[in-house]
Structure formats: C-alpha cells, structure tokens
Structure 1
Amino acid sequence: MTVEAPPRPSKATGPIFLAPLKLVMGLIDAPLRAWQKVAGLNGMAAFFLLPNMLIFGVFVLLPLVINFLYSMTGGTALFLDDRIFVGAEHYQRIFSCENYANPKSCIEDGFWVAVRNTASFVVIQVAVMIGVALITALILNRDLRARSFWRAVFFFPVLLSPVVVGLIWKWILQRQGLLNFGLHQFGFEPYVWLTDRGWAFVAAVSVSVWAHVGFYALILLAGLQAIPRDLYEAAEMDGTRTSRVFRRITLPLLGPNLLVVVVLALIRAVQIFDEVYVLTGGGPGTSTMFLTQYIYETGFASTLRNPGLAAAASILMGLVLVVLTLLQLAAGRRGERKGAR
C-alpha cells in the first residue's frame, strides 16, 4: 500500500503570501534608510534606543520631577495648580526633632518610627536573606536526586504575587489559622502571632525571606556553577579542609554575585510593603509600619492626607537608597582591585 505525499503549494502562491510582508518591511525600511543617511551608522543606535528612552522618561524621570514638585507644595489638592508653594517646609517638619533616636521627640513622629522599623527590618532581613540564599544555593549545587525539582520548589514562591503571599501566611498565622490548629493537635494553646509586637515583626521578616529567597539563591547558584571545577579538584588533591575551600575559593569567586544580591536585597527590603501590609497592616500598633506604608498612608489612605509630606518622605528614601547603592558598588570595585593585585 502506497501513501501519497501531501500536495505541495504551487510556486505561484509564494509571492502572494510574501507580498504583504514585503510591503510592511518596505514601510519600515523607508524611515530607517532616511535616518541612516542623516545620522550615519552610529546614529542608528540612537534610533533604536529612542523608544526605550521615551518610556523611561515618561514613566521614571517625569514622575520623579513631579514628585519633587509635590514635595515643595502644601495642601490636600491633587493638581499642582491648586496647591500652595511652601518650599522646604515639609523637609523642615520631618527633621524637626530634639532627639532622632526618640521618635516621640519629633514633630513628625510617624516618619521616624517608620525609619526605625525599616532600618531594623533591613539589617535583619538582608542578613537572614543572604545567609539562607547562600546555604540554599550551596545545597542545590550538589549532585542531588531530582535536583531540578528542588530548584523549582525553592523558586516557586518568587512567582507568587506579594498579595497572595501575604494572604497565604495570614491564613496560616492568624489566631484560627493552620499553625495554631497544628499546635492545638499537640496540646498547645493557640497564640496570637500577628497581634504580638515581637512575633509580628518576626513574621514580617520570615515571610519576606520565604517569598524572595529563591530569586537570590538562583543568582548565587549561577555564580557557583561558573566557578571552575579544576580549583575544587586541586584543593581536594591537596587535602584542603572544606571550610578552608569555602573561604579561599568559593567566597572570593562568588564575590560579584554576592554584591549583586546584597544591592538587590537591600533595595527590596527598604521598599517592603505589599506582603507585610496584607499580613499585619502595619500593626500591632506601629510595630511593622515601614517607610513605604507611611508614605502610602500619609499621601493617600489617611483622612488628613498630605501628598506633599509623603512626596518629601519618598524623596528622602530614594536618596538614601542611591547613597547606599553607590557605597556598596564602591566597596565592590575596591574589592575587585585588591583581587586583581
């Protein structure tokens, strides 16, 4: 039994299908050729970068300028034309403190409470995040059974929305939640994890680490896999201890990846909002009130909203982020120079 081959398209149908495509390509080529004649080959790079620069200018630079203008105006009106120019009044209000270590001595005490909470959160969360991410990357870099599965498991929380993460852990940690149900099965009394000031802060740190550690572990895992295996084999032949191999080979060669992780983790930690806001709402009291939530509530959610004060607070937060990032990048370059020597 013979099977007939499917009929081939006629050669005459080819130009019919290609004609619209050639027309579109011709319409695209016309402005490109005109621009190349005017600007040359080097100017073509500017042509292709222009759309990205326009998007960056409209959605990043322009909002920054508008935000700075808002910080120099007062009132509750939304449009700048309806607002009153007050100069640096909001900045003076923020920095009017008798003792910066005591937020109660400040006129804008809510801002400094949020700063203190954010600073504590950043120090603890970034340290825990880097430690857990490094341990996770070291484990996932070994020859494990179903290694791809475990890598996917650790990375899966990164794919979840921060709001979903907050809702999941709120369902687990609330008084009638899954954790208290499990404790009750073993004879323990239920505990109010999210309404205790200390435990609420611990929950905010833990949930944030759980949600984002997979992303940083992936970066460190890529760095570990880039380290030549010959170095480890040579160290093993010399009988070098595992701890010494880690200090002398793994950590120095993983330095650039660690620097990226520190910078990204620091920026994310300072901007923490979504999952903590869903989880605790900033409470109990102001124990988990962080800077981003303070800005949001001052500018939008509060009954006596003050967009100018919120804009000033966001400008200060942005400046701190820029300074910290530049310091870390400078430290990274200094470390690379020492390594080169």
Structure 2
Amino acid sequence: MRLLSFFFNLLEPFFRLCQRWLGLSRLGWLFVGPNLLVFGLFTFLPIVINFFYATSGGVKLMPLERPFTGVENFQTLFQCGNYLDISTCNRDVFWRAILNTLKFSVLQVTLMLVFSVLTALVLNRKIMGRGFWRGVFFYPVLLSPVVVALIWKWVLQNQGVLNAGLAAYGMQPVEWLTDAGWAFFWTIFVSIWAHMGFYTLILLAGLQAIPRDMYEAAEMDRAGPWRTLTRITLPLLMPNLIVVVVLAAIRAIQIFDEVFVLTGGGPGSATTFIVQFIYQTGFAEQIHLYGLAAAASLALAAFLVVLTLAQLRLTRASEQGRKGR
C-alpha cells in the first residue's frame, strides 16, 4: 500500500498540470487517449490500408509499388456473362464461395435457432442437474475454434473414431471429409455444436426475464403448452430472437476457422466460403492477388454493415411494438 501511495503521489503533479492545460471537461481524453490510439492503429488504419489495396493492382506487397487501378478489382470479381450461370463469371470461385456461404448461412442459422430455442426452453425448466447441463452446453463456446475443429477432425477422418466405430459393427468406413455432401454437412454440424451454447445463453436470459405471473394467468385460463409458447413466450422473446438471428448470421457469413482446419475448403470448392476465398486469393495461392482479396473483403464488410443496420432497425421496431401494446 505504501508503494502504491508513493506512486500516486508522484503522478499527482502530472495530473494537476494536465488539468490546468486541458481543463476539467477535457481531462477524460487523457485517460481514453491510449485506448483510442491502439484502436486506431489496429482497427482504423488496417481499414484505410485495405481500401488502398482494393483500388490498386499488381502482385507487389509494398504500397508504393502498387499502381492505382480504381474499381478494376471489383469489376473483375463481379463481371459475369450470365449471372445465373457462375461458370461464365470471370472469378467463378468467388461466386461459388458466395453461394456456399449463403447456403451455409441459411441452413446453419435456421438449425442454430431451432436447437437454441429448444435447449433454452428445456434448461429453463426445473430439471435435475440444471446448472450442470447449462455448463455442459456452454462449455464448447469456451474452446478455441481451432481446437474444436481438430477434435472433430480426429473423429471424422478416414481412420478416425467414427469410422472405427462403424468398422466394429462390420460396416464400411465413410469418407466424411472427402465427400462433398458429407463435408458440407459436418461443417454445419461442427459450427452448431461449437457456438450453440452462446445463443442458448442469450435466449435463456430472455426467458428468465419473462414475468412469471403471465404464465400463471395463462394456466388459470387453461391455455395449453403450445398456445402459451406461441402467444406468450415467443412474442416476449422476440428481441432476443432477433439478436440471436443477426449474430448467428454474421458469424455464419464469417465462418473460417473450423472449416479451414476441418476441410481446408475442400473437397474441391464444396466448402469454400467467402472468407476462405479471401484467404486463398491473398495468401495461399502461388500468385498473391492482394487487390482482389481486399476488394472481396470490402464487399463482405458492406454486406455485414447492411445486416447490422437491419438488426438495429428490427430491434427498434420490436421494442416500439412492445411499448405500443
């Protein structure tokens, strides 16, 4: 304590001088300044650099060696002879990655929402070991996505645990990760398994915020479980459901870690998603096309901004609807 008091006594003249120069109303900038500096250095500066790379060409990494090309990279990505046939597109892998991402997002978010709601409803009831089961469902969220993918890759690989179990019953092993259909299925399954606990926690908090007397009134009116669910639980849970849908959609669109470790984007381009395409174009291929990768990342960022604004609008509309009732 004496050492800490001595340290603060040394700093007191400095803060008094800063207060005299800046004034009391602007003294707060002295404390948030270091955080703003770090935030600008590692967030805003990369965004500015990304805009520069998206509007420049060549394969050189240094900015001074890259010529300005304007929107040429965006034209290269979005140029197609027939948008209904991605094989006619200049960068057909980019469009295939978009289609894969949309398909993955719709399936994964829908299933994630259904399983999260069901799990939250069960965990909100008075069941034996409720605290334990809540911890079990949330535990995968604490794991690194790479660790999750490595565990499931160990299970699903050709000589993995799952095929060993099939062989024990005299069945033929299945190419879980090298068959296009199965690989896509397991990317969805692993993603749901890894992140469902987080969304279940959000919905569980919403369920616990619903007044208990509303259920008691419904019980007195002899409302059935389905009517109680559709007329009380889901409407009052709607703000949480909107948050879950938008957060899950953003996470699904940005999927990379699990898929990169699990399938590497294969077989072929069956599990190549948009972030995987950005990584491969900018860093993994023999010729590093930084401009195309930056342009694709900006297109992805624009879509995510639109999605976030839609979430804010839906949340505001939901809140106004609840107040108007």
TM-score strictly above 0.5: yes
1:120 maps to which residue? 103
From 89, 92, 96, the equivalent of 2:79 is 96
Measure how far apart 1:99 and its partner are.
2.1
1:153 maps to which residue? 136
2:92 maps to which residue? 109
Deviations 1:31-63 (A, max 9, x none): 433444455444344333323222221111110
Structure index of larger Rg: 1
Measure how far apart 1:253 and its partner are.
1.8
Measure how far apart 1:263 and its partner are.
1.8
Name the aligned partner's letter for residue 259 of structure 2.
Answer: V
From 244, 247, 251, the equivalent of 2:234 is 251
Is the 8 Å Cα contact of residues 100 and 112 (structure 1) preserved in structure 2? Answer: no
Fraction of identical pairs, as percent:
55
1:67-216 to 2 correspondence within 5 Å? 67-216=50-199
Change (3 A) 1:33 1:235: farther
SS at match of 1:222: helix
Q: Provide the rounded CA distance (Å) in 2 between the counterparts of 1:247 and 1:34.
A: 62
From 12, 26, 49, the equivalent of 1:66 is 49
Change (3 A) 1:205 1:44: same
From 265, 285, 293, the equivalent of 2:276 is 293
Q: Provide the rounded CA distance (Å) in 1 between the counterparts of 2:49 and 2:227.
A: 53
Matched, 1:327 2:310: yes
SS at match of 1:114: helix
TM-score normalised by length of structure 2:
0.95
Change (3 A) 1:132 1:30: farther
From 282, 287, 296, the equivalent of 1:313 is 296
Give the paired residue count.
Answer: 324
Q: Provide the rounded CA distance (Å) in 1 between the counterparts of 2:83 and 2:139.
A: 41
Is the 8 Å Cα contact of residues 174 and 192 (structure 1) preserved in structure 2? Answer: yes
Q: Which moved more, 1:254-263 or 1:149-158?
A: 254-263
1:205-244 to 2 correspondence within 5 Å? 205-244=188-227
Q: Which moved more, 1:84-93 or 1:95-104?
A: 95-104
Is the 8 Å Cα contact of residues 278 and 296 (structure 2) preserved in structure 1? Answer: yes
Q: Provide the rounded CA distance (Å) in 2 between the counterparts of 1:336 and 1:230.
A: 21
Is the 8 Å Cα contact of residues 129 and 213 (structure 1) preserved in structure 2? Answer: yes
Q: Provide the rounded CA distance (Å) in 2 between the counterparts of 1:33 and 1:216.
A: 47
Deviations 1:223-250 (A, max 9, x none): 1112121111221122111111111221
Q: What RMSD in Å do the two structures reach over aligned CA positions?
A: 1.5
Q: Which moved more, 1:321-330 or 1:20-29?
A: 20-29
Deviations 1:87-146 (A, max 9, x none): 111011111112223221111111111111011111111111111111111111111211
Q: Which moved more, 1:52-61 or 1:318-327?
A: 52-61
1:29 maps to which residue? 12
Q: Provide the rounded CA distance (Å) in 1 between the counterparts of 2:217 and 2:21.
A: 58
Q: Which moved more, 1:301-310 or 1:53-62?
A: 53-62
Q: Provide the rounded CA distance (Å) in 2 between the counterparts of 1:334 and 1:193.
A: 44
Q: Provide the rounded CA distance (Å) in 2 between the counterparts of 1:32 and 1:236.
A: 62
SS at match of 2:26: helix
SS at match of 1:254: helix
Q: Provide the rounded CA distance (Å) in 2 between the counterparts of 1:63 and 1:332.
A: 30
Q: Provide the rounded CA distance (Å) in 2 between the counterparts of 1:336 and 1:314.
A: 33
Gaps of 5+ in 2: none
1:8 maps to which residue? none
Name the aligned partner's letter for residue 185 of structure 2.
Answer: V
Measure how far apart 1:159 and its partner are.
1.3
Q: Provide the rounded CA distance (Å) in 1 between the counterparts of 2:105 and 2:143.
A: 22
